[in-house]
């Protein structure tokens, strides 16, 4: 019986899906599921649904629920982290203050001013979580879902002894998109993907031995298909690879797409790209907040059943518990040199072989020069953010923002400095003490 702890379980829909994933495996259906959140109301909603899932499906799992993190972690085998740290106002500051300077972020949770400051306000809690785990479950595996993925995982590798992997659904989602664009069965794709979180590359993608890149390049000339993923197709056109994150995310990580409002409007086609406008994630977050408080309005516990999603967590746990070999794309330390031309201390997203002996990153070798160059522009920002947070170095945070590709494309160094100071002051209560 594995003890599987969910930290941040008040996100009911996501937690429900992950619980269902775990219980969908017969070998895991007797697991001890522990749900923890500091929001007792949202936690109770998730607990009701999880308990109903166990009852309706007649499995032997036990469901525990607590607002006490240390109580939840005691004796854990696996810890799934899906927290959001801080009030909506902090998120608003991270988007609206840069916007007032001309930096137009659509999402702001991975890189840029938004990603950097989201990382800064989340890192102290991550370190507290690591301390609790070191005391209460030092051999547990931490499965992190919280963004900014690379910044948070890099922090854990640098500052803690907790075994950590980062999980993201961007690779399977991208595989699904590619299969749709070229009209082949998704479950028959064969691909090899590596890079960094939200900017990994389909280095190969085949169907029945056929290289799909010629068909993908042909498909992007179809206006209807192009409009569904404008930025990713432009990256493919100019850098010769398809990237793993959606157009609205990818538009923030490079300097090419978000400095001119007319261009932003032109890129807002259909499908993924309709979320290109500035602050689209913030506005969606605010709209969904009320739904999270009343999540049971849309879900009837009496009818909820166990289903398996595309998320990696349950498959990873199943492989470790049953010695079932799998290959999953995970976020891990590059300490083994999985990607030869990225820093060893970086967090990379690479294929990993998983079985009862653990998680084993595959050696990818060197990425093509143009792709690793794009990755490095983001890794530079991640590295300085981690250094700034751990060393309490205010200058490092300023430098991280100044090296952000989108910010640098829009503002002068003086303007970036002023914007960063404004952000540091506005969100000071949630940040590490920087000197």
Is 169 a residue of the active site? yes
Residue 268 has pLDDT above 90, yes or no: no
Residue 6 has pLDDT above 70, yes or no: yes
Residue 5 near residue 132, CB atoms below 8 Å: no
> Of 265 and 68, which is predicted with more confidence?
68
What's residue 291's pLDDT?
A: 74
Mean pLDDT on 195-211: 98
Residue 211 near residue 204, CB atoms below 8 Å: yes
Q: Give me the helix-helix angle, 413-426 and 112-136, nearest 10°.
A: 50
Residue 36 near residue 68, CB atoms below 8 Å: yes
Confidence of residue 273 (pLDDT cuts 50, 70, 90): low
Q: Which residue has the tokens 């594995």?
A: 2
Q: List phi, psi (to 5°) of 244.
A: -85, -10
Residue 343 near residue 379, CB atoms below 8 Å: yes
Residue 290 has pLDDT above 70, yes or no: yes
What's residue 309's pLDDT?
A: 87
> Of 264 and 127, which is predicted with more confidence?
127
What's residue 153's pLDDT?
A: 98
Confidence of residue 292 (pLDDT cuts 50, 70, 90): confident
- Residue 36 in 3-state DSSP? strand
The string of DSSP letters for 174-196 reads: HHHHHHHHHT--GGGEEEEEEEE
Residue 272 has pLDDT above 70, yes or no: no
Cα–Cα distance, 325 to 24 (Å, whole number): 18
Q: Give me the helix-helix angle, 112-136 and 394-403, nearest 10°.
A: 130
Residue 271 has pLDDT above 80, yes or no: no
Cα–Cα distance, 111 to 108 (Å, whole number): 6
3.40.50.720, 3.40.50.880, 3.40.50.150, 3.90.1010.10: which CATH number matches 3-165?
3.40.50.720
Mean pLDDT, the chain, rounded, equals: 95
Q: What is the largest CA-CA distance in the chain?
A: 62
Residue 116 near residue 154, CB atoms below 8 Å: no
Cα–Cα distance, 165 to 347 (Å, whole number): 9
Which of these is catalytic: 41, 169, 173, 360?
Answer: 169
C-alpha distances in Å from residue 228, one per residue of 270, 279, 291: 5, 19, 27
Residue 266 has pLDDT above 90, yes or no: no
- Residue 38 in 3-state DSSP? coil
Reading the block at residue 127, the tokens are 């370190």
Cα–Cα distance, 309 to 304 (Å, whole number): 14
What's residue 218's pLDDT?
A: 98
With a threshold of 0.85, does the pTM exceed it? Answer: yes
What's residue 305's pLDDT?
A: 86
Q: Which residue has the tokens 């029945």?
A: 208
Cα–Cα distance, 188 to 47 (Å, whole number): 37
- At 306-346, the pLDDT tens digits run 888 889 999 999 999 999 999 999 999 999 999 999 999 99
- Ordered by start, the domain boundaries in the chain are 3-165
- At 20-61, the pLDDT tens digits run 999 999 999 999 999 999 999 999 999 999 999 999 999 999
Q: Give me the helix-helix angle, 369-391 and 112-136, nearest 10°.
A: 60
C-alpha distances in Å from residue 190, one per residue of 74, 179, 187, 225, 324: 40, 11, 9, 22, 20
Cα–Cα distance, 246 to 78 (Å, whole number): 29
Cα–Cα distance, 251 to 257 (Å, whole number): 6
DSSP designation for 229? S
What does R_g of the chain's alpha carbons equal in angstroms?
Answer: 21
Reading the block at residue 149, the tokens are 């993925």
Mean pLDDT on 409-422: 98
Residue 294 has pLDDT above 90, yes or no: no
Cα–Cα distance, 37 to 45 (Å, whole number): 11
The partner residues of 298 in beta bridges, in order of sequence, read none
Most confident of 290-294, 296-300, 430-434: 430-434
What's residue 247's pLDDT?
A: 94
Instruction: Of 182, 155, 166, give the one whose Cα is nearest residue 311.
Output: 166
């Amino acid at each position: 019986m594995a003890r599987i702890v969910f930290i941040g379980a008040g996100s009911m829909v996501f937690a429900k899906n992950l619980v269902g994933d775990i219980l969908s495996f017969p070998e895991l259906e007797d697991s001890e599921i522990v749900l923890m959140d500091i929001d007792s109301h949202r936690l109770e909603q998730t607990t009701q649904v999880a308990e109903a899932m166990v009852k309706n499906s007649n499995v032997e799992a036990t469901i525990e629920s607590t607002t006490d993190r240390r109580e939840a972690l005691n004796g854990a085998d696996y810890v799934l982290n899906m927290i959001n740290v801080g009030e909506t106002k902090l998120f608003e500051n991270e988007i609206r203050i840069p916007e007032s300077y001309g930096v137009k972020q659509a999402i702001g949770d991975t890189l840029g001013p938004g990603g950097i400051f989201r990382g800064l306000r989340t890192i102290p809690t991550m370190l507290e979580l690591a301390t609790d785990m070191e005391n209460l479950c030092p051999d547990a595996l931490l499965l992190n879902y919280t963004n900014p993925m690379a910044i948070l995982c890099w922090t854990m590798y640098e500052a803690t002894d907790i075994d950590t992997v980062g999980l993201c659904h961007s690779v399977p989602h991208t595989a699904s998109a590619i299969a749709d664009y070229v009209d082949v069965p998704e479950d028959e794709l064969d691909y090899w993907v590596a890079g960094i979180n939200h900017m990994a590359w389909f280095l190969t993608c085949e169907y029945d031995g056929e290289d799909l890149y010629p068909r993908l390049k042909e498909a992007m000339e179809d206006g209807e298909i192009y409009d569904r993923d404008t930025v990713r197709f432009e990256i493919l056109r100019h850098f010769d690879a398809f990237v793993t994150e959606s157009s609205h995310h990818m538009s923030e990580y490079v300097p090419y797409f978000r400095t001119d409002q007319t261009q932003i409007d032109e890129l807002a086609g259909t499908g993924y790209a309709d979320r290109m406008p500035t602050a689209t994630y913030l506005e969606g977050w605010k709209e969904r907040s009320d739904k999270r408080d009343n999540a049971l309005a849309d879900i009837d516990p009496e009818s909820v059943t166990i289903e398996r999603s595309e998320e990696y967590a349950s498959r990873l746990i199943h492989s470790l518990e049953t010695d079932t070999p799998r290959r999953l794309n995970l976020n891990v330390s590059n300490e083994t040199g999985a990607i030869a031309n990225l820093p060893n201390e970086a967090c990379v997203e690479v294929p990993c072989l998983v079985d009862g002996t653990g998680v084993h990153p595959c050696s990818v070798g060197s990425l093509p020069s143009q792709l690793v160059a794009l990755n490095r522009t983001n890794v530079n920002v991640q590295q300085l953010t981690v250094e700034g947070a751990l060393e309490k170095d205010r200058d490092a945070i300023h430098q991280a923002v100044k090296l952000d590709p989108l910010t640098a494309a829009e503002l002068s160094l003086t303007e970036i400095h002023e914007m960063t100071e404004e952000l540091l002051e506005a969100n000071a209560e949630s940040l590490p003490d920087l000197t």
